[in-house]
Amino acid sequence: MIIDRIDFRLANDLAELGPLVRALDFFGEAVALPPKTAHRLTLAIDEFVNNAVDYGYPDHRQGEITVSIRHRVEHLEIVIADDGDAFDPLTAPAPDLSGSIEERRIGGLGVHLVRTLATSFAYRREDERNVVTLALALDA
């Protein structure tokens, strides 16, 4: 059995991440994802849902975040969308990865990690939503 696709809908509330992570673990086991792919999948969704909840709704209005996973032959395709304020993660400054422990800034790694681990990454603003589409290799 293969799970070809699974779509989630969440409130903009970090409490949603617990059940979501359990569902991602179930999916990863059901389709026997390689360990790195499974980790990257949870990481990508965790980072972007956290960012949407933390930064996308500064007025604390209720919001909706959707996550869709398609299981293709050679990769997972992930679409994360939120109705928070417009934000293009491709404009997030790249972190400075050199420098000593004293020099390194704390934070600012989430977007970088996901962009680096994804084999493709795109952003669009569509119907008042931020839509991030990314692919993760299945032969990790």
Give one DSSP letter per residue of 43-75, joined into a string. HHHHHHHHHHHHHS-TT----EEEEEEEE-SSE
For helices 17-30 and 35-55, give the axis angle rounded to 10 degrees: 160
Q: How far is the CB of 107 from ligand ADP (least distance, A)?
A: 4
Q: Taking CB under 8 A as the rule, which mask of x and - marks residues 112-131 in contact with other proteins? A: xx--xx--------------
Which of 86, 58, 65 has the alpha carbon at shortest distance from 13? 65
Q: How many residues does the chain have?
A: 140
Return residues touching ligand ADP (CB under 6 A): 47, 51-52, 55-56, 84-85, 87, 89, 92, 107-112
Beta carbon nearer to other proteins, 47 or 82: 47
Site for other proteins in 16-75 (CB under 8 A): 17-18, 21, 35-36, 38-40, 42-43, 46-47, 50
